[in-house]
């Protein structure tokens, strides 16, 4: 098995004193769709930001395909795409300009991916918005553009913070189909979400994070066994998180 991602003993305290991560470790193999779930403030977004090098941990390390995000940043992050929790983007670009800009940053030739870009834009029902500025999009539309960009850059590892936030059912369906397709072709996904029904049906493995620590991990079946009951992921989640 190939390790797509290793998070080793991450600690992070924010200025102001909030201890967001307290020794978080996890490993994701190539081909997994790993769902990271946990209550508000558990440390999911902090974990994902550290994974993609946007935040520096106080302690611990991140390896993407064996490459250290701290020591070999460019090599590690070249393999990675990221959907942020809060879309902070250049909103004075049109959808098309934005997608060209993002792929250009990765030195991907637009001509090589134009067909795929069109497929994604159509799949997300964004064709009519191609020449619309990002600030003129609805929240769900903007989310679909960010996800499109994350698919387009040929990622080995997709790191997505609540990627389906604001997406309509059709877009959610297309999103899941596309993640599965990319994963079947060798990609890997780390997805944080509060949509437990989706996680239960879609993810190959789940980690539950609470107060900066991983408190349970496994396939859905394994997690249910930890809670020693046959119930939904939601019920298991509540039981584990409430202790
Ligand atoms: N920039 C920041 N400065 C100070 N504290 C922060 C900052 N960002 C996050 N925190 C704190 O760190 C903790 C973890 O936050 P984080 O955003 O990682 O949680 P989360 O699991 O993503 O939550 P949510 O489900 O609400 O998105 C919280 O207590 C939060 O208040
Ligand atoms: Mg978050």
Q: Is the four-CA dihedral 223, 80, 132, 90 of positive or negative sign?
A: positive
Nearest ligand 1 atom to the CA of 212 is 14
The model carries a pTM of 0.96
Residue nearest to atom 17 of ligand 1 (CA): 45
CA distance 57 to 24: 11
* Radius of gyration, alpha carbons of the chain: 18
CATH tag, 3-241: 3.40.50.300
Q: What is the pLDDT of residue 102?
A: 93
Q: Is 66 in the pocket of ligand 1 (CB under 6 A)?
A: no
Q: Residue count of the chain, please give it.
A: 243
Angle at CA of residue 57, ends 62 and 80, nearest 5°: 40
Domain boundaries, the chain: 3-241
pLDDT under 50 in the chain at which residues?
A: none
Residue nearest to atom 7 of ligand 1 (CA): 14
Q: What is the pLDDT of residue 229?
A: 67
Nearest ligand 1 atom to the CA of 12 is 12
User: What's the pLDDT tens digit per position in 20-69?
Assistant: 999 999 999 999 999 999 999 999 999 999 999 999 999 999 999 999 99
Name the token pair of 9.
């003993």
């Amino acid at each position: 098995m190939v390790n797509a991602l290793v998070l080793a003993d991450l600690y992070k305290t924010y200025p102001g004193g909030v201890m967001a991560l307290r020794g978080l470790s996890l490993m994701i193999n190539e081909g997994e769709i790993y769902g990271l779930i946990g209550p508000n403030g558990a440390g999911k977004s902090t974990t994902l930001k550290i994974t993609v090098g946007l935040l520096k941990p106080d302690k611990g390390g991140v390896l993407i395909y064996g490459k250290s995000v701290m020591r070999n940043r460019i090599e590690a992050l070249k393999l990675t795409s990221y959907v942020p929790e809060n879309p902070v983007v250049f909103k004075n670009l049109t959808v098309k300009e934005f997608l060209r800009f993002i792929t250009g940053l990765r030195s991907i030739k637009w001509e090589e991916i134009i067909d795929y870009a069109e497929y994604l834009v159509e799949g997300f029902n964004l064709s009519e918005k191609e020449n619309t500025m990002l600030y003129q999009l609805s929240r769900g539309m903007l989310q679909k553009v960010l996800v499109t960009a994350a698919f387009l850059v040929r990622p080995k590892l997709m790191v997505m913070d609540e990627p389906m936030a604001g997406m309509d059912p059709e877009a959610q369906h297309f999103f899941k189909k596309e993640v599965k397709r990319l994963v079947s072709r060798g990609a890997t996904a780390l997805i944080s979400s509060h949509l437990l029904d989706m996680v239960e049906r879609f993810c190959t493995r789940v980690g539950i994070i609470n107060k900066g620590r991983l408190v349970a991990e496994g396939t859905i079946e394994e997690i249910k066994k930890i809670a020693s009951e046959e119930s939904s992921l939601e019920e298991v989640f509540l039981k584990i998180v409430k202790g």
